[in-house]
Amino acid sequence: MADVPKGSFYNYFESKEAFAVEVLTDYWDSVVSTYGPILTDNNLTPLARIARYFAGLAEFHERRRYAVGCLIGNMALEVTPSSERVRVKLAAIYRQWTASLTECLREARARGELPARKDPAQVAVALIDAFEGAVTRAKVERNRLPFDSFEGFVLPALVT
């Protein structure tokens, strides 16, 4: 217990929803600052960047023994049914996530790494959806197998 009076919370946040939005913002900013640079690392090919990016995220969960899951996915499942503000924030995060992956995938397509028939934005959405599913499954199973499946089957299927 922090021994902080309950009323003090509202000196900093207008509501629990405002607090949740701030927590999500900090979490997403941390993800972007830690893993975002991988997507723009010109020392790697675009598809190698995508693979390394998701491997980095998987390693994050591995270090936490798969027990925590993804705050974005957790909040999406638990809070969005009752909080429009949190739902709107999560939608914005998903759009930002999609945009950063789409940019890298566009570069991959321009270089001939991603087949021309593949829409980079659709691939980005599918990658996020599949990865978030792997995070959830890893949290339940408490092992790396869902990430191995994502890296070995899902990722190659979506980009070839």
pLDDT digits (tens, 9 = 90+) for 64-107: 999 989 999 999 999 988 999 999 999 999 999 999 999 999 99
Residue pair 96/28 in contact (Cβ under 8 Å)? The answer is yes
Mind listing the domains of the chain with CATH numbers?
14-159 (1.10.357.10)
Whole-prediction pTM: 0.92
Give the position of tokens 């830690």. 34
Residue 119 φ/ψ, nearest 5 degrees: -85, 115
pLDDT digits (tens, 9 = 90+) for 138-147: 999 999 999 9
Alpha carbon 24 to chain centroid, angstroms: 12
Which residue in 78, 73, 61, 54 sits closest to 156, CA to CA? 54
Q: Roughly what angle, to the nearest 10 degrees, separates helices 84-110 and 46-63?
A: 140
H/E element, 99: helix 84-110
SS (H, E, C) 139-154: HHHCCCHHHHHHHHHH
Q: What is the DSSP letter of 42?
A: T
**What confidence category does residue 13 fall into, taking pLDDT thresholds of 50, 70 and 90?**
confident
